[in-house]
């Protein structure tokens, strides 16, 4: 054991010596530099690629050693990059051809089975009288057309029968008028002929069903007196039913009259039914932001019952410009009232007699190749806010060359985007490794495709203090401003604790910040300022609480970022007289970048601490001393 200790001391001393030698440049560094410098004429920083210097040295932003800028990709235009075949292989780049292809949108809806209103029949009394018998005496009974439903005694009907019999015996010219009167009171031709043959009026009239279906309502009872028009039964024909669906307003663009809809029910799991859209409500429900979509469905086995819950999906094929195409309706003629009536030539509807209309007049386009939309895989597009960029392969080059290009995307259809502008058919876009190309572009001090114009300017040295935010500024009383300054000072303590790699102090100061927030007297603000502060306070409290619950310094740093963002917005709405400096580190959170606030312009990075303490730059000064 005694022999081991000296050996350990020697090993530790050697390690410390190597570390110190690596951290502090030796006097022989100029000689090393002179031996390296001829190999590269431009030097850059791996963390800040916008830095380009003519000789070896330290990065002026993060003080890291500069690296030589190779000329492999520093060719072509500002948005172009050329790489060696070996580099392309290491990046595992994959490309896909921009092509025209019909794709299907997917619109999901929910709803319920309902009666077909056009197939609901009301059985009512045509003459006043008394119901003496109900052959159908409860609801739910299926009936066929022509079956007897009830017997009605009516004095008026007896009188009309006597008139018919008298006309037959003494006045033939009144026979037709008497027959017509009885027919209008609900008697069938057979019943009228039976009265004439028997020569005796019937004291009861039998009411027959004019249609087949299910009795869904029984409105009368035996012995009840009824008047003309009193409803006795309601019969619904369920061989054809409606599905009433709710479609979000954002999906209505894909739905068309006559389009197919597929749905399932809880009653028959695994079985899919199909129907046709027969109506789309022209009015949006302001509460749910949905519109009713009616689907007509054949139901010969009566498997679908009104009230059933259904889940439906429509998969219309999308053409260029976001239009809808249906190959089954190409060149067809459709009934505007009954979408199930489709013919090859113009004519009239077999159901309602209305003239048929073309499918194109209902919003469909022809299924020709030129109407197919231009599509790219989802993985090809790099989206940043409202912008979308892709990398396009430039053909016929000595080595792999790619051009960054901003494009305008249409709708997303599954794993593809419709391209509205910016690409041509036949071009090839990078579908795998686009972010690696973008990073490589920045290594050569070219602007990232993910940066907008203003962001590109900032990379080239734009004064960030000139970048203004369009926010509502609230004038606050001095007392409120002082209380808010105390909050800011507590925040600075957290920033200093994290930059000093001190998680214990970070937690303590986070608790202090929360206490300072509770001491801010919102009653000092009035009107809109009071309401705005309530919103900001809610977000500040939420981010601070998350910071106090962080168990490690890594979690503290993750929670510190949203707190910094919220406090930045708060100070721009509720300014304080003391200047506050906003700093930015592009390497934070796996090169996503992050900002923070500090009390002076000496960068102290809270996201890396001592590892890269001075990595970052001051972007903006918030406060009176701008």
Dump the DSSP string for 252-279: GGG--TT-EEEEEESSSTT--EEEEEEE
**Mean pLDDT, residues 129-150 taken together:** 92
C-alpha distances (whole Å) from 452 to each of 66, 383, 419 are: 27, 12, 20
- Quick: pLDDT tens for 239-291: 999 999 999 998 998 899 889 999 999 999 999 999 999 999 999 999 889 99
Domain boundary among 428, 453, 478: 453
Alpha-carbon distance of 385 to 115, in angstroms, equals 46
Residue 90 sits in the same domain as residue 178: no
- Quick: pLDDT tens for 555-585: 999 999 999 999 998 998 888 888 999 999 9
Residue 290 sits in the same domain as residue 223: no
Residue 470 sits in the same domain as residue 592: yes
Q: Domain holding 549: CATH number? A: 1.20.120.290
- Quick: pLDDT tens for 502-526: 999 999 999 999 999 989 988 888 8
Q: At how many degrees (to 10) do helices 175-184 and 155-170 cross?
A: 160
Residue 186 sits in the same domain as residue 244: no
Assess if residue 459 is contained within a domain. no
Burial 96-119 (b: 16+ CB within 10 A, else e): bebeeebbebebebebebebbeeb
Domain boundary among 408, 428, 453: 453
Nearest one of 506, 463, 492, 478 to 621, comparing CA atoms: 463
Alpha-carbon distance of 245 to 89, in angstroms, equals 51
Owner of token pair 């009616």: 294
Using an 8 Å Cβ cutoff, are 417 and 381 in contact? yes
Q: What's the confidence (pLDDT) of residue 69?
A: 64
The residues, any chain, with a CB within 8 Å of residue 90's CB and separated by 6 or more, are none
Assess if residue 73 is contained within a domain. no
Residue 605 sits in the same domain as residue 485: yes
Alpha-carbon distance of 356 to 346, in angstroms, equals 6
Assess if residue 166 is contained within a domain. yes
Residue 23 sits in the same domain as residue 131: no
The tokens for 271 are 């079985």
Q: Pairing mode, if any, of strands 333-334 and 342-343?
A: antiparallel
Q: Domain holding 382: CATH number? A: 2.40.420.20
Sort residue 470 into left (φ over 0), alpha (ψ -120 to 50) or beta: beta
* pLDDT of 190 higher than 90: no
The tokens for 380 are 């090809």
The tokens for 336 are 């505007």
Residue 228 sits in the same domain as residue 308: no
Band of pLDDT at residue 32, cut at 50, 70 and 90 = very low
Q: What's the distance, Cα to Cα, between the start and end of the chain in Å?
A: 65
270 by Cβ neighbours in 10 Å (0-12 / 13-18 / 19+) ranks as exposed
Domain count, the chain: 5
Alpha-carbon distance of 327 to 319, in angstroms, equals 11
Nearest one of 582, 594, 592 to 618, comparing CA atoms: 582
The tokens for 169 are 């015996």
Burial 594-608 (b: 16+ CB within 10 A, else e): bbbbbbeeebbbbbb
Burial 5-39 (b: 16+ CB within 10 A, else e): eeeeeeeeeeeeeeeeeeeeeeeeeeeeeeeeeee
Using an 8 Å Cβ cutoff, are 390 and 410 in contact? no
Q: Where does 141-255 have alpha helices with state H?
A: 155-170, 175-184, 189-198
- If DSSP codes are grouped into helix, strand and coil, which group holds residue 27? coil
Q: Is the pLDDT higher at 389 or at 91?
A: 389
Band of pLDDT at residue 447, cut at 50, 70 and 90 = low
The tokens for 401 are 């060359």
Q: What's the confidence (pLDDT) of residue 466?
A: 34
Q: What is the mean pLDDT of the chain?
A: 82
Least confident interval from 19-33, 252-266, 442-456, 509-523: 19-33
Assess if residue 460 is contained within a domain. no
Alpha-carbon distance of 199 to 210, in angstroms, equals 27
Alpha-carbon distance of 587 to 608, in angstroms, equals 9
Q: Which domain holds residue 149?
A: 117-236
Q: Domain holding 226: CATH number? A: 2.40.50.100
Assess if residue 423 is contained within a domain. yes
Band of pLDDT at residue 47, cut at 50, 70 and 90 = low
Assess if residue 480 is contained within a domain. yes
Band of pLDDT at residue 237, cut at 50, 70 and 90 = very high
Q: Pairing mode, if any, of strands 324-325 and 364-365?
A: parallel
The residues, any chain, with a CB within 8 Å of residue 33's CB and separated by 6 or more, are 55, 56
Residue 232 sits in the same domain as residue 243: no
Q: What's the confidence (pLDDT) of residue 71?
A: 52
Residue 601 sits in the same domain as residue 524: yes
pTM equals 0.56
Residue 380 sits in the same domain as residue 310: no
Alpha-carbon distance of 121 to 108, in angstroms, equals 33
Q: Domain holding 345: CATH number? A: 2.40.30.170
Alpha-carbon distance of 533 to 552, in angstroms, equals 31
The percent of residues in the chain predicted with pLDDT above 70, rounded, is 85
Assess if residue 155 is contained within a domain. yes
Band of pLDDT at residue 607, cut at 50, 70 and 90 = very high
The percent of residues in the chain predicted with pLDDT above 90, rounded, is 35
Nearest one of 341, 386, 385 to 359, comparing CA atoms: 341
Nearest one of 403, 399, 398 to 427, comparing CA atoms: 403
Assess if residue 557 is contained within a domain. yes
The helix (run of H) or strand (run of E) holding residue 26 is none
466 by Cβ neighbours in 10 Å (0-12 / 13-18 / 19+) ranks as exposed
Q: Where does 460-552 have alpha helices with state H?
A: 478-499, 503-518, 527-548
Residue 483 sits in the same domain as residue 605: yes
Band of pLDDT at residue 471, cut at 50, 70 and 90 = low
Q: At how many degrees (to 10) do helices 553-573 and 478-499 cross?
A: 150
- Quick: pLDDT tens for 210-228: 899 999 999 999 999 999 9
Residue 242 sits in the same domain as residue 288: yes
**Mean pLDDT, residues 335-361 taken together:** 86
Using an 8 Å Cβ cutoff, are 74 and 444 in contact? yes
Domain boundary among 453, 476, 509: 453
- If DSSP codes are grouped into helix, strand and coil, which group holds residue 68? strand
Largest alpha-carbon pair distance within the chain? 146
Alpha-carbon distance of 437 to 443, in angstroms, equals 10
């Amino acid at each position: 054991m005694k022999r081991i200790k000296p050996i350990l001391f020697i090993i530790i001393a050697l390690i410390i010596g190597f570390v110190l030698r690596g951290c502090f440049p030796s006097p022989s560094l100029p000689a090393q530099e002179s031996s390296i410098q001829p190999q590269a004429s431009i030097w850059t920083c791996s963390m800040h690629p916008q830095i380009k210097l003519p000789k070896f040295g330290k990065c002026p932003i993060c003080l890291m050693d500069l690296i030589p800028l190779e000329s492999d990709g520093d060719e072509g235009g500002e948005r172009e990059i050329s790489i060696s075949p070996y580099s392309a292989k290491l990046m595992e780049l994959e490309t896909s051809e921009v092509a025209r292809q019909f794709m299907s949108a997917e619109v999901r809806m929910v709803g319920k089975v309902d009666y077909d209103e056009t197939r609901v029949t009301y059985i009512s009394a045509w003459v006043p009288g008394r119901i003496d018998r109900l052959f159908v005496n409860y609801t739910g009974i299926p009936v066929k057309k022509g079956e007897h439903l009830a017997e009605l005694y009516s004095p008026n009907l007896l009188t009309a029968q006597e008139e018919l019999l008298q006309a037959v015996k003494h006045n033939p010219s009144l026979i037709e008028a008497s027959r017509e009167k009885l027919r209008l009171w609900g008697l069938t031709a057979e019943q009228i002929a039976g009265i004439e043959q028997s020569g005796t009026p019937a004291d009861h009239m039998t009411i027959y069903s004019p249609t087949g279906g299910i009795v869904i309502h029984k409105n009368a009872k035996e012995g009840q007196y009824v008047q003309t028009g009193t409803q006795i039964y309601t019969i619904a024909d369920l061989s054809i039913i409606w599905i009433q669906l709710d479609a979000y307003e954002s999906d209505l663009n894909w739905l068309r009259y006559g389009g197919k809809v597929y749905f399932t029910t809880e009653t028959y799991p695994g079985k899919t039914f199909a129907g046709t859209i027969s109506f789309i409500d022209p009015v949006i429900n302001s509460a749910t932001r949905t519109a009713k979509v009616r689907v007509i469905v054949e139901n010969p086995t009566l498997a679908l019952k009104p009230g059933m819950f259904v889940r439906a999906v429509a998969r219309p094929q999308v053409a260029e410009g976001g239009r809808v195409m249906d190959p089954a309706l190409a060149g067809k003629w459709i009934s505007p009232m009954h979408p199930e009536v489709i013919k090859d030539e113009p004519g009239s509807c077999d159901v309602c007699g209305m003239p048929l209309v073309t499918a194109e007049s209902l919003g469909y386009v022809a299924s020709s190749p030129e109407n197919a939309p231009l599509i790219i895989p989802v993985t090809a597009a790099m989206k940043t806010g409202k912008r979308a960029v892709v990398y396009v392969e430039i053909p016929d080059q000595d080595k792999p060359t790619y051009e960054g290009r901003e494009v305008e995307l249409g709708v997303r259809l599954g794993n593809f985007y419709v391209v509205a502008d910016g690409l041509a058919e036949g071009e090839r876009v990078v579908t795998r490794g686009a972010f690696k190309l973008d990073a490589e572009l920045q290594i050569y001090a070219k602007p990232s495709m993910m940066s907008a114009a203003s962001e590109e300017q900032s990379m080239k040295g734009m004064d960030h203090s000139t970048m203004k935010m369009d926010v509502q500024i609230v004038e606050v009383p001095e007392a409120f401003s002082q209380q808010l300054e105390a909050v800011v000072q507590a925040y600075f303590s957290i920033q200093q604790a994290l930059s000093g790699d001190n998680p214990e102090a970070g937690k303590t100061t986070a608790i202090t910040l929360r206490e300072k927030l509770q001491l801010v007297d919102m009653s000092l603000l009035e009107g809109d300022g009071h309401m705005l502060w309530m919103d900001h306070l809610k977000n500040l409290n939420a981010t601070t609480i998350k910071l106090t619950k962080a168990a490690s310094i890594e979690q503290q740093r993750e929670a510190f970022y949203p707190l910094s963002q919220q406090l930045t917005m708060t100070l721009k709405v509720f300014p304080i007289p003391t200047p506050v400096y906003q700093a930015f580190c592009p390497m934070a959170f796996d090169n996503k970048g992050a900002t923070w606030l500090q009390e002076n312009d000496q960068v102290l990075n809270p996201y890396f601490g001592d590892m890269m303490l001075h990595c970052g730059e001051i972007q903006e000064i918030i406060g009176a001393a701008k």
